[in-house]
C-alpha cells in the first residue's frame, strides 16, 4: 500500500525538514497542529474607504455585491411605496422574497458588533457564506495598523491613489502577508476627509487639489519611465494588480485555501516564539497570545494545548515545515481495510459500504469458499483520496500448519496484516479470542477500529439486545470501550449499518489527520531526522 502521497508532494514534504532534530513527543505536536488548523479563522481586513464603501467591498469579497445592491434598491422602493389596497398582493409576494433574503443573511452574512468584547477598536465581522473559517472585517479609513492585526489585506483605492499604500505594500512584503488592491467606483468612496462642519466646499476643494497633484505627478513619472525605455507598469507598482470589485470574490475564492495554510503556519510559529519570551518582556512588547484571545483568533483551550505541547523547535522553528504538512494533508491517501476471519461476510459488507450488491460490476467476489485471496480496492464513494480495501480473510486453511505448530490452548499468532490507517473488523455474531487479540494488536499500533458483528439477520429481533449486551460487557472486562455495530449484508439499510457509515464518514477527516501524523513522524524518523547520540553510550 505504497504511494500514499504523490512523488512531487513527497519531495515538497521532505525538503524543509533536512538536517532537523527530533525530540520526544513529535507525533503528538504534529497531530495537535493539524487539529488546531481545522478551526483556525483566516481574517481578511477590508479598508481604504469610507464606512459604506468598505461594507460594499466586504460583500463583494463574499460574492454578495449584487445581492447587497438589490437589497439597497428594495429598501429605497419600500420607502416610496404607498399603502394602497390594490397593491397588497404584490407587496405580499415581495415580502416573501425579502423574508428569504433576510433568512439567508442571518445564516450566512451576519454582522456581529460583539466580535471583540469591550474593545473600542473592534470591527464588524462578515462571515464568508461559502468558505468556513473565513472572516471579513471592515476598518473605516486608515484606522489602526491592519497589516499587524489580520492575515490578508484588501484595500480600496484608485490608480491615482496607489502610492498611498506603498508603506503597507513594503511592510506586508517583509512579513510575507498578501495584499489585494481593489478599484473604487468613485473617488468619493476613498475620501478620508470628513465632509462635516460649516463648510463642506473646503473639503471638496482640498480633494480636487489633491487629485490634480496626483495627475501631474503621474504624468511626469510616465514621461520619465517612457524616456528610460521601461516596459510595463511603473516599477513602483510591479506585481501589485488593481482588481475590479466584481472579480475580487473569484480571485480570493481560489487563493483562500493556500492563504489560510500560510497564515496559520506563520501564526503558530509567531505564537510559540511569543510564549517563550519572559512574561515581563511579553507585556512590554505586546502579547500575541492576549490579542489573539481578545480577537477570538484562538480559544483559551487551544492556547493551553500550545503552551503544553509546543516546547521544542523541531516543528515551529520555521513556517515552511508546517506548510509542507498542511499541503501534504490535501493529497494524503486514507486506507481503510475491511478485515475478518474467512467466511465472516467481510466481502459482502465491503460491497454494502460501496452501495453495491453482490455480483454487481466492480463488487468484491463472495461465496461459501475463500473468494478474497488478494486485496481488492475501491474508491470510497465521492470522498477524495479515501480507498476501501477488502482484505483476505484470516484463519485460512493454508494457515493451519502455522496455527497447529503452537500450543493448542493458546490462540494462533496474528498473521501479517496489510497496513491500513483504519480497520473495519468483522466477526459473525460474537467476538472470539483471536478477534480480541487482533483488536488489541491494532489499537496498540494507534489504529482506529470499527467493530462489526455480521450476519445479525440470522438472530431474532428480540435477541439482538442480548447479543449487543454480552459482547459489550466482554469488551469492557478486557478494558476495551468500543462501539459495536450489528449489520446484515443482505439487508444493508437495516440495523446498524447506516449508523456505522455515518459515524465513519463524520470521522474521515479526523482519521486522515491521525494517519498523516503517524505516517510523517515515521517517515522523518527513518529518512530525515538527525539522531542524537545516546549520552549513556558516549565515551
The three cell numbers locating residue 180: 489585494
CA 353 to chain centre: 26
Contact 180, 153 (CB under 8 A): yes
CA 290 to chain centre: 24
The three cell numbers locating residue 48: 481604504
- pLDDT tens for the chain, 539 residues long, are 578 999 999 999 999 998 788 778 899 999 999 999 999 999 999 988 888 888 899 999 998 865 555 555 555 555 555 554 545 554 444 444 455 455 444 433 444 444 444 444 555 788 998 999 999 998 875 444 555 678 999 999 888 776 666 666 777 777 778 889 999 988 777 755 454 555 555 655 665 665 566 556 555 544 544 454 444 333 344 457 889 999 999 999 999 999 999 999 999 999 998 888 776 665 555 688 888 888 889 999 999 988 888 877 788 889 999 999 999 999 999 999 999 988 788 888 998 898 887 766 666 766 434 455 688 889 998 999 999 999 988 865 455 454 445 554 555 566 678 899 999 999 988 888 889 999 999 999 889 999 999 988 888 888 888 999 999 998 998 888 899 999 987 788 888 999 999 999 999 999 999 999 999 999 988 877 765 554 454 44
pLDDT score at 66: 56
Question: Which residues neighbour 165 within 8 Å (Cβ) at sequence distance 6 or greater?
Answer: 48, 155, 157, 179, 181
- DSSP 8-state symbol, 341: B
Q: What share of the chain is helix, strand, coil (3-state, %, to 5)?
A: 55, 10, 35
Phi and psi, residue 6, nearest 5°:
-60, 155
Strand-pair partners of 424: 338, 450
The three cell numbers locating residue 392: 483476505
Closest CA to 447 of 377, 519, 393: 519
Question: Which residues neighbour 63 within 8 Å (Cβ) at sequence distance 6 or greater?
Answer: 129, 130, 249, 250, 253
pLDDT score at 489: 76
Q: Where are the beta strands (DSSP E) in 342-455?
A: 376-379, 386-390, 422-428, 448-454
Closest CA to 295 of 149, 470, 480, 192: 149
Angle among Cα 214, 217, 219 to the nearest 5 degrees reads: 105
Question: Which residues neighbour 326 within 8 Å (Cβ) at sequence distance 6 or greater?
Answer: 34, 37, 261, 264, 265
Question: Which residues neighbour 67 within 8 Å (Cβ) at sequence distance 6 or greater?
Answer: 59, 101
Cα–Cα distance between 392 and 500 in angstroms, integer? 22
Torsion of CA 38, 43, 44, 48, to 10 degrees: 180
Q: Is this prediction's pTM over 0.75? A: yes
Which element (helix H / strand E) includes 269? helix 245-276
pLDDT score at 266: 93
Residues across the chain: 539
pLDDT score at 16: 92
- Residue for grid cell 520526544: 24
Question: Which residues neighbour 92 within 8 Å (Cβ) at sequence distance 6 or greater?
Answer: none
Cα–Cα distance between 93 and 90 in angstroms, integer? 5
Contact 527, 14 (CB under 8 A): yes
Amino acid at each position: 500500500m505504497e504511494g500514499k502521497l504523490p512523488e512531487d508532494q513527497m519531495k515538497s514534504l521532505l525538503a524543509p525538514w533536512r538536517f532537523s532534530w527530533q525530540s520526544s513527543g513529535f507525533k503528538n505536536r504534529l497531530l495537535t497542529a493539524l487539529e488546531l488548523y481545522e478551526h483556525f479563522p483566516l481574517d481578511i481586513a477590508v479598508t481604504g474607504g469610507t464606512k459604506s464603501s468598505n461594507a460594499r467591498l466586504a460583500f463583494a469579497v463574499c460574492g454578495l455585491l449584487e445581492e447587497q445592491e438589490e437589497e439597497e434598491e428594495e429598501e429605497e422602493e419600500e420607502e416610496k411605496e404607498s399603502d394602497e389596497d390594490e397593491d397588497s398582493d404584490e407587496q405580499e409576494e415581495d415580502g416573501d422574497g425579502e423574508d428569504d433574503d433576510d433568512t439567508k443573511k442571518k445564516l450566512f452574512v451576519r454582522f456581529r458588533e460583539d466580535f471583540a468584547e469591550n474593545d473600542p477598536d473592534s470591527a464588524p465581522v462578515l462571515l464568508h457564506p461559502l468558505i468556513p473559517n473565513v472572516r471579513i472585517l471592515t476598518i473605516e479609513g486608515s484606522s489602526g495598523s491592519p497589516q499587524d492585526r489580520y492575515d490578508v489585506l484588501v484595500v480600496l483605492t484608485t490608480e491615482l491613489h496607489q502610492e498611498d499604500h506603498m508603506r503597507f505594500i513594503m511592510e506586508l512584503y517583509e512579513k510575507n502577508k498578501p495584499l489585494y488592491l481593489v478599484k473604487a467606483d468613485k473617488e468619493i468612496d476613498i475620501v478620508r476627509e470628513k465632509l462635516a462642519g460649516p463648510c463642506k466646499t473646503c473639503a471638496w476643494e482640498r480633494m480636487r487639489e489633491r487629485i490634480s497633484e496626483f495627475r501631474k505627478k503621474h504624468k511626469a513619472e510616465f514621461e520619465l519611465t517612457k524616456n528610460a525605455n521601461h516596459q510595463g507598469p511603473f516599477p513602483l507598482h510591479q506585481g501589485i494588480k488593481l482588481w475590479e470589485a466584481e472579480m475580487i470574490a473569484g480571485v480570493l475564492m481560489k487563493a483562500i485555501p493556500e492563504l489560510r495554510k500560510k497564515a496559520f503556519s506563520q501564526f503558530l510559529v509567531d505564537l510559540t516564539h511569543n510564549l517563550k519570551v519572559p512574561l515581563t518582556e511579553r507585556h512590554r512588547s505586546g502579547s500575541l497570545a492576549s490579542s489573539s484571545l481578545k480577537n477570538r483568533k484562538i480559544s483559551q483551550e487551544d492556547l493551553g494545548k500550545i503552551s503544553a505541547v509546543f516546547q521544542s523547535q523541531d516543528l515551529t522553528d520555521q513556517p515552511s515545515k508546517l506548510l509542507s504538512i498542511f499541503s501534504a494533508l490535501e493529497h494524503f491517501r486514507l486506507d481503510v481495510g475491511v478485515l475478518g476471519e474467512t467466511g465472516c461476510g467481510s466481502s459482502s459488507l465491503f460491497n454494502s459500504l460501496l452501495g453495491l450488491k453482490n455480483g454487481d460490476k466492480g463488487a468484491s467476489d463472495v461465496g461459501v469458499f475463500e473468494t478474497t485471496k488478494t486485496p481488492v480496492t475501491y474508491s470510497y464513494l465521492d470522498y477524495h483520496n479515501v480507498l476501501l480495501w477488502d482484505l483476505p480473510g484470516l484463519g485460512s486453511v493454508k494457515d493451519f500448519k502455522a496455527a497447529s505448530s503452537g500450543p493448542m490452548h493458546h490462540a494462533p499468532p496474528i498473521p501479517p496484516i496489510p497496513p491500513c490507517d483504519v480497520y473495519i473488523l468483522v466477526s459473525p455474531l460474537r467476538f472470539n479470542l483471536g478477534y480480541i487479540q487482533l483488536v488489541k494488536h491494532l489499537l496498540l499500533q494507534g489504529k482506529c477500529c470499527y467493530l462489526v458483528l455480521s450476519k445479525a439477520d440470522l438472530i431474532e429481533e428480540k435477541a439482538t439486545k442480548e447479543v449487543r449486551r454480552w459482547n459489550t460487557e466482554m469488551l469492557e472486562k478486557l478494558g476495551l470501550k468500543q462501539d459495536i455495530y450489528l449489520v446484515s449484508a443482505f439487508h444493508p439499510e437495516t440495523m446498524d449499518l447506516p449508523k456505522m457509515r455515518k459515524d465513519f464518514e463524520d470521522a474521515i477527516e479526523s482519521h486522515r489527520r491521525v494517519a498523516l501524523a503517524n505516517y510523517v513522524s515515521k517517515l522523518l524518523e527513518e529518512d530525515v531526522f538527525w539522531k542524537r547520540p545516546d549520552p549513556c553510550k558516549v565515551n
